[in-house]
Amino acid sequence: MAICTYCQLEMTTARSCTVDALHLDGRQFALAPHGTEPGMSKFRGTRCGDCGVSWGGLHHLGCDLQGCPRCGRQLLSCGCSFDEDGPYADDTDEDDELR
């Protein structure tokens, strides 16, 4: 089982994630549904190969195929920081961890 930590649904069988937008300093960025990514039309009707949502459903956050609603690149690696991301573990000072 793979449960989405945001919508609490089983990722391989859920039609869609319930998260439809991300936020940055109070500004909302709508997430695009599966199938709207460039080059996806040839796979019409299939579930997402990474997070398993149905065609037209919203990707589960953390999906490799989800585009960033702000910059358009891959959400996992684009570097845009949304309010939902929370604090990052690597923001701590390495010296503080050694004390």
pLDDT at residue 90, rounded to an integer: 45
Enumerate residue ranges in the chain where pLDDT < 50.
Answer: 89-99
pLDDT at residue 99, rounded to an integer: 41
pLDDT at residue 39, rounded to an integer: 74
Listed by start position, the domains of the chain span: 1-85
pLDDT at residue 18, rounded to an integer: 94
The distance between the two most distant Cα atoms of the chain, rounded to a whole number of Å, is 55
Taking the alpha carbons of 69, 71, 76, 82 in that order, is the dihedral positive or negative? negative
Cα–Cα distance for residue pair 93/19, rounded to 1 Å: 32
pLDDT at residue 93, rounded to an integer: 45
Cα–Cα distance for residue pair 30/24, rounded to 1 Å: 11
Judge if pTM exceeds 0.85.
Answer: no
Cα–Cα distance for residue pair 4/63, rounded to 1 Å: 10
